[in-house]
């Protein structure tokens, strides 16, 4: 499959991908829904206006001339599949309709560099899981020792907590270093001030399409139809604030000051060829968590840190989404098994994705082992945690034969505390 738009083999956005996002032109315009192809964004509100989706479930509905994707996401999998076929056909090399309509092309395609990406969805609720066995084990060893590394519930329950949706921000948005209470080990009383242990968390998140009603669980093997697609997530964390506040109710201000996401939602349709077997689960999960088939995804994830003194970002970690112990179907089944309702646009994040080797850990906490082994940057600087002026960049992609299905990146710069 090829598009009439030139797409380099290294691009994250070939015709096999077609992620959904929301953007506006740099010079004053309303946000609209679009897709990405090569170095261009495609204005879906115009294609909709021109009747491209008329013969699908979308009919004459206006779902793309909106400041978020929620209306489209609520339509469900059959509508998503039909819209994808329309777009792949319209952008394809051997279909003349759009290929030969130079006038329409002028208003439909905009170079990516001329637009500003917005949050793709109105996110009502955000849940953060803790589903990487390697991450949970590393943190457990650091804080409880090798023998009690995994909590006794961990292999039975996809552990999670409710995060904060209001502070989810799109890639490129800067983050102000948070202040809060911490309790230095050598002090008798807690102190107040900017966090000294600011960290990133390499995660991915999925978006809810159609939700479920209060009181109704989503059976694990029906969860697929409720999941629209995925983004990259950096769940910023203040480790010193976290250590002091987290007992007995879990993370609070250490986590809710900012969560960054990549702007393009890559659909499960585009990710389908990259579905792989996940880690062996022993003990066998309970019946309500027994997902059929392979639900891990082979998604390469790389993390880069760019200090203000460096010209190029420096790679500090390379992990993969396939390492996740609990899969997205199990997470959603568990989330709703008690009758908790989910709504269109809700976001669920995976938890830090650490791989089996030291260079595949998904946080500074693990990469530097609580600061014991600082990371050396090429210019001679060292990092135990993240400094003011540092930019943290995560990118992610699936490698197909001769093409990539990518997520682009999620980047964020740390500004000094106010």
The residues binding Ca ion (CB under 5 A) are 128, 201, 235
Beta carbons of 414 and 393 less than 8 angstroms apart: no
CB of 170 to Ca ion, least distance (A): 18
Nearer to Ca ion, 134 or 201 (CB): 201
On the 0-12 / 13-18 / 19+ scale of CB atoms within 10 A, 343 is middle
Nearer to Ca ion, 201 or 409 (CB): 201
Query: What does 101-121 look like in DSSP terms, one character per residue?
Result: -HHHHHHHEEEGGGEEEE-SS
CB of 255 to Ca ion, least distance (A): 7
Interatomic CA distance for residues 329 and 333, integer angstroms: 6
Nearer to Ca ion, 48 or 235 (CB): 235
Nearer to Ca ion, 108 or 123 (CB): 123
- In the block, tokens 């629209």 appear at 228
To the nearest 10°, report the CA torsion of 309, 314, 317, 320: 130
- In the block, tokens 């990518």 appear at 406
Nearer to Ca ion, 234 or 368 (CB): 234
Verify whether residue 135 is a known catalytic residue: yes
Backbone angles phi, psi at 209, to 5 degrees: -85, -110
Nearer to Ca ion, 87 or 364 (CB): 364
> What's the Cα-to-Cα distance from 41 to each of 32, 37, 45, 136, 361, rounded to whole Å?
11, 6, 12, 39, 33
| Catalytic residue (choose from 135, 226, 334, 335) | 135
Interatomic CA distance for residues 335 and 342, integer angstroms: 9
Beta carbons of 384 and 374 less than 8 angstroms apart: yes
Q: Which helix (H) or strand (E) holds 73?
A: helix 70-73
On the 0-12 / 13-18 / 19+ scale of CB atoms within 10 A, 23 is buried
CB of 408 to Ca ion, least distance (A): 21
CB of 363 to Ca ion, least distance (A): 9
Nearer to Ca ion, 235 or 269 (CB): 235
CB of 375 to Ca ion, least distance (A): 20
Interatomic CA distance for residues 208 and 118, integer angstroms: 18
Give residue number: closest CB to Ca ion.
235
Structure tokens at 144: 């409880």
- In the block, tokens 């077609």 appear at 18
Beta carbons of 148 and 356 less than 8 angstroms apart: no
Closest to 133 (Cα-Cα) out of 282, 348, 245: 282
CB of 159 to Ca ion, least distance (A): 11
CB of 129 to Ca ion, least distance (A): 8
Residues marked active site are found at: 135
């Amino acid at each position: 499959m090829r598009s009439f738009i030139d797409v380099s083999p290294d691009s994250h956005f070939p015709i096999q991908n077609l992620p959904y996002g929301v953007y506006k032109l740099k010079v004053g315009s309303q946000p609209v829904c679009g897709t990405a192809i090569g170095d261009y964004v495609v204005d879906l509100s115009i294609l909709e206006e021109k009747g491209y989706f008329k013969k699908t479930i979308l009919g004459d509905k206006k779902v793309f001339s909106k400041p978020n994707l929620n209306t489209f996401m609520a339509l469900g999998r059959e509508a998503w599949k039909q819209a994808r076929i329309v777009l792949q056909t319209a952008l394809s090399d051997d279909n003349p309709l759009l290929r030969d309509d130079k006038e329409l092309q002028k208003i439909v395609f905009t170079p990516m560099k001329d637009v500003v990406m917005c949050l793709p969805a109105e996110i009502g609720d955000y849940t953060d899981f803790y589903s990487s066995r390697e991450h949970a084990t590393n943190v457990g060893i650091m804080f409880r020792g090798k023998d009690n590394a995994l909590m006794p519930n961990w292999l039975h329950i996809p552990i999670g907590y409710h995060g904060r949706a209001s502070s989810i921000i799109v890639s490129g948005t800067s983050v102000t270093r948070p202040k809060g209470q911490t309790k230095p080990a050598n002090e008798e009383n807690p102190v107040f001030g900017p966090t000294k242990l600011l960290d990133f968390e390499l995660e991915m998140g999925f978006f809810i399409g159609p939700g479920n009603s209060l009181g109704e669980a989503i059976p694990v093997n029906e969860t697929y139809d409720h999941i629209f697609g995925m983004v990259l997530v950096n769940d910023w964390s203040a480790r010193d604030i976290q250590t002091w506040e987290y007992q007995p109710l879990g993370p609070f201000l250490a986590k809710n000051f900012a969560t960054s996401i990549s702007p393009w939602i890559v659909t499960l349709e585009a990710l389908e060829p990259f579905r792989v077997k996940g880690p062996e689960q022993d003990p066998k999960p309970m019946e309500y968590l027994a997902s059929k088939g392979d639900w891990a995804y082979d998604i390469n994830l790389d993390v880069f840190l760019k200090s203000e003194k460096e010209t190029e970002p420096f790679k500090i970690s390379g992990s993969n989404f396939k390492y996740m112990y609990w899969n997205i179907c199990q997470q959603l089944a568990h989330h709703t098994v008690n009758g908790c309702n989910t709504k269109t646009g809700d976001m669920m994040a995976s938890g830090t994705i650490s791989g089996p080797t030291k260079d595949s850990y998904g946080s500074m906490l693990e990469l530097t082992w609580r600061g014991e082994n600082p990371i050396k940057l090429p210019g001679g600087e060292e990092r135990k945690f993240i400094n003011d002026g540092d930019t943290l960049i995560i990118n992610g992609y699936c490698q197909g034969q001769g093409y990539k299905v990518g997520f682009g990146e999620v980047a964020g710069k740390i500004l000094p505390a106010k």
